[in-house]
Amino acid sequence: MHPDLLRYSCQMALPGFGEAAQKLLQHARVLIAGAGGLGCPAAQYLAASGIGTLGIADFDTVSISNLHRQILYHSDDAGKLKAEVACARLQQQNPGIKPVPHIVKITSANVMQIIDNYDVIVDATDNFETRYLLNDAAVLAGKPVIYGAIYQYEGQVAVWNMKHDDGSRSPNYRDVYPHADAAQVPDCVIGGVIPTLAGIIGCMQANEVIKYITGTGELLAGKLLLFDAQNMQSRVIKIGGLTKTHITALQQTAPVLTITAAETKNGLANNTLTLVDVRTDQERDEYHIGGMHFELDEVADNLDEFEPDKTYVFYCSSGKRSAEAVKLLQQKLPGVKACSLEGGLGRWGLNQH
């Protein structure tokens, strides 16, 4: 056996796998969108399996609260860019692959360019806006999406937009979830998540990628796998063989205004900005930088607290929940000026808290 293939000897020993399948993995280009709870285990196992080019798209920084489930990172990585840290660790794990960091927020303006160089997209995102955007872009580009999602003790896995022999496509995310209100579904920080679930679902996503690239096994196309970590039961729901949606263009979304930590500190010194903390009560008790406080799901019930002659800076641990709060104010109170603290408290310069 060639020395370059020695590390893959166990998987190459599988019936129906062999050197031919391994070469398919080595020539494959896989994009993982989101280097969090799902993206970390998916990336590690795909790197270990020998995926030739592994793109990691994430503009967020590491927070201490990530570490219980985002196992690529260490305590001293707090405040560092996830995509950069992830790619460095994956390169150490397997020097024979090419990790590519994409340190950008995926938007309607750049998504087509980002996914263009990849064969398959792993949806390891944690917000609806990016999830729908990736789905629609993949449909337009004719690329499959390996979907995963987790919340509390439950997870989901599916393969969207698979091409059939006759050129038709399997269902995509919008066939199952035509639309969703992100404000009604709390994220992991608010709703909680058991860390092992992230590993289980992320590994399932990696498994589907390997099956897709090598043409082995039966993919979760036209199906949705539901997993319950409390009773260790799973079931597969058949959702049909063909898509019924007609996606012809990307939906354009208004950008969320952001402000840097330096700009915020300057504005606070000049009394021109008002801070609003949208983290949980527990996070607030542990540390805060002042300002008003409403948990994200409480903002809509306290709109009368916001005045049109003020400029509000919403903040959270990473900038994701604060961005959701800004979008809510843009919809409900278009006359109120609001922006999100870029990078959250991770960029504030006080990561030890």
Catalytically annotated residues: 188, 316
Place of tokens 């542990």: 286
Contacts with 54 (C-beta within 8 Å, 6 or more apart), sequence order: 30, 32, 43, 46, 47, 90, 97, 98, 99, 100
Question: Which residues are within 8 A (CB) of 117 and not within 5 positions of it... i.e. 6 or more apart?
Answer: 29, 53, 55
Residue type, 141: A
C-beta of residue 170 within 8 angstroms of C-beta of residue 159: yes
Backbone angles phi and psi of 314, in degrees to 5: -85, 140
The residues, any chain, with a CB within 8 Å of residue 102's CB and separated by 6 or more, are 31, 55, 56, 57, 58, 83, 114
